[in-house]
Amino acid sequence: MIYKTTAKFNNPCFLKLLEKCDLCPRKCFVNRASGELGFCTASNDVKIAKASLHHWEEPCISGLLGSGTVFFSNCNLKCVFCQNHKISHDGYGKIVSISRLSEIFLEQQSRGALNINLVTPSHYVPQIIEALKLAKSCGLNIPILYNSNGYENVDTIKILRGFIDVYLPDLKYYNDKYAVKYSKAPNYFTCARQAITEMFSQVGETKFDDDGILQKGVIIRHLMLPGLLFDSKKILDFVHSTFNDSVYISLMNQYTPMHESFKYPEINRVINPNHYEALINYALKIGITKCFIQESGTSSKSYVPNFDLSNV
C-alpha cells in the first residue's frame, strides 16, 4: 500500500520551540529554524537513517512480527561508547519532510509492525508530534514508543502527553561523575529522574494485549557498564523505591566497546559476567519482580543495525 499525506511544518507554537531550542537539558538556545546548530547538531529538518522491523527489543516490544523502529539521526547525548555513532555522532541520515515521516509511520504499520518505535527522538519532538497527528488522522493506530537516552527536559516530555503509549527511557548513570565523563551530561540523573516520573504519570502501569505485547507503560533500560556495578545497584534502588513494581526494568549486558571507548581503558572491555549476575541477584534481593534480563553473548558488533536509509 502506498500512503500519501500532505502537511507543512507550520505549527507556530512548536516552531517557536526550535527558535530558541531548549528541547533537552543542554538548553543551547540556538535558533534551529534559521540554521544554527546546538550540541545535537540537528537542524530544523528531521533526519532519519533507517526504518525497519526490529526483532531484538524486549519480547513484549518485538513480539514475532517486529517493532517498527525509526532511527533518528543526531543525538543530544553522544556517549563516547555509542554503538550507533554513525548516526548519533556523525549525523548520517536523510532529511525527510513531516509528510514523509508520517508516511513512514503508516508504512511501518502496513508492514506489520507491532508498534512505532521512535529511537533517539528527543531533539525532534515538535516535528514528530506533527507527523503523528497527520499519521493518526490517516489511520495509524498501533502503540507509539518513545525510545530515549533519558537526558530529557521534563517540559518537552510534557508536550508529548497523549501522543505516546509506551516510554522506553534509558537510565544510564546514577553518579553524575560518569555522566559527565562519558556523555558530557551534567545533571543526567536528575533530568532523567524528573522525565521518567513525568512519563509514568502520562501512561501509568504496564498493560499488555492478549499476545503479551506491551500497549501502555514504562520500561526503564539500564545498560551495565564495565566496572560500575555499584552505580547500577543505585539505579535499581531508585527504580524500586520510586516505582515499586509499576514499571519494568530491563537490565542489559550487551555493552560492546565501540567508537571512542579506546580512550577510556576502564570501559574498553566487555562487562564481567559475574558482575551482571550480581546485579540480577541484587534486583531479586531488593524485591524487583518486573525485570528483563539478557542472555550471555549479546556483546557483539553484529547487533548494531545497518544504517542504510532503508525505507526512508
Smallest distance, ligand SF4 to C-beta of residue 286, A:
34
Chain residue at closest Cβ approach to ligand SF4: 38
Cβ of residue 32: shortest distance to ligand SF4, in angstroms? 6
**Minimum CB distance to ligand SF4 smaller for 31 or for 246:** 31
**What is the nearest approach in angstroms of ligand SF4 to the Cβ of residue 159?**
13
Rounded-to-integer distance, Cα 4 and Cα 256, Å: 40
Least Å distance, CB 24 to ligand SF4, is 3
> Which CB atom, from 77 or from 142, has the smaller least distance to ligand SF4?
77
Cell readout for 57 is 527489543
Q: Specify whether the CB–CB gap between 75 and 108 falls below 8 A.
A: no
Q: What span, in angstroms and rounded, lies between the C-alpha atoms of 6 and 21?
A: 26
Closest distance of CB 259 from ligand SF4, Å = 18
- Going by C-alpha positions, the residue among 297, 144, 275 that lies closest to residue 222 is 275
- Residue 64, judged by CB atoms within 10 A of its CB (0-12, 13-18, 19+), counts as exposed
Q: Which C-beta is closer to ligand SF4: that of 69 or that of 76?
A: 76
Nearest approach, Cβ of residue 87 and ligand SF4 (Å): 15
Q: Hey, which residues does 117 pair with through a beta bridge?
A: 69, 145
Please return the burial class of 197, using the count of CB atoms within 10 Å of its CB with bins 0-12, 13-18 and 19+: middle
Binding site for ligand SF4 (CB under 6 A): 21-24, 26-28, 30, 38-40, 42, 76, 123
Identity of the residue, 42 or 166, whose beta carbon is nearer to ligand SF4 in the bound complex: 42
Do residues 256 and 83 lie in contact, with contact meaning Cβ atoms separated by under 8 Å? yes
Q: Is 82 exposed, middle or buried (0-12, 13-18, 19+ CB in 10 A)?
A: buried
Minimal distance, residue 23 CB to ligand SF4, in Å:
4
The smaller minimum CB distance to ligand SF4, of residues 85 and 123, is found at 123
By C-beta, is 24 or 114 nearer to ligand SF4?
24
Pick the closer one to ligand SF4 by CB: 76 or 83: 76
Rounded to whole angstroms, the Cα distance separating 252 from 254 reads 6
Q: Given the complex with ligand SF4, which of 20 and 269 has the nearer CB atom? A: 20
Cβ-defined contacts of 59-63 (< 8 Å, 24+): 59/212, 59/292, 60/208, 60/212, 60/213, 60/214, 61/114, 61/115, 61/117, 61/145, 61/166, 61/168, 61/213, 61/214, 61/219, 62/114, 63/114, 63/211, 63/212, 63/213
- Shortest distance, position 204 Cβ to ligand SF4, whole Å: 27
Considering the complex, state which of residue 155 and residue 308 has its C-beta at the smaller distance from ligand SF4. 155
Residue 157 grid cell? 516530555
HSE of 164 in the Cβ direction (CA atoms, 13 Å)? 31
CB of 125 to ligand SF4, least distance (A): 8
